[in-house]
Amino acid sequence: MTATTALPAGSTGQFDRAALRWLGAIVALVAVMLSSWSVVTRLTEESSPATGLGPMESVDQAEFAGATGVWIEHVSLVGGNGLIEIRYRILDVEKSEIVHDFDYPPRIIHEDGFELRFQRHEHSHERENRLGATYNEQLVNLATYFSRGDTVTVLVGQHALEGVPIQ
């Protein structure tokens, strides 16, 4: 003997199209909310050096960014420790043009006072800075003078961001 279930009159036993559309919209909304939450969580994690928040949260970037239009993402050793990369994000296009200043090019000062300036200041892009874009500058780590964990001051124009750890 098999069990059967009686369906209401006029019912086919399947969802109608309107219910499927609502279900699809709800699933899409949940997916967008979860993605947004994931991005926000990743950007605010203390351990995330890619956002400039992790090891650099102790330095006051807000004032520096307000003056220069750039947010320092990180300073790190790359290329077998032979290069120092300064990565920054454009927050204000007009103010960020300061990174192209030939009189005061971006530079870093080691915690013991050794200063490393850009010898040639050419950028990889030929257009004006774009809002939200991330750029980087690389300096030669002379005789591997700089090491991971050292603290530097990043100078852009005449504005200093002190206490930046090298990653």
Q: What is the pLDDT of residue 99?
A: 85
pLDDT band at 54 (very low <50, low <70, confident <90, very high): very low
Q: Where are the alpha helices (DSSP H) in the chain?
A: 17-44, 61-68, 93-96
Least confident of 78-87, 100-109, 112-121: 112-121
DSSP, res 102: S
Identify whether the C-beta of residue 151 lies closer than 8 Å to the C-beta of residue 111. yes
> 90: closest CA among 121, 73, 69?
69
The average pLDDT across 18-44 equals 69
What is the predicted pLDDT for the residue at 3? Answer: 56
CATH of 49-165 given 2.30.30, 3.40.50, 1.10.357, 2.60.40: 2.60.40
Q: Which residue has the higher pLDDT, 167 or 127?
A: 167
Instruction: Look at residue 98 in the predicted model and tell me its pLDDT.
Output: 87
What are the structural domain ranges in the chain? 15-44, 49-165
The predicted model scores a pTM of 0.61
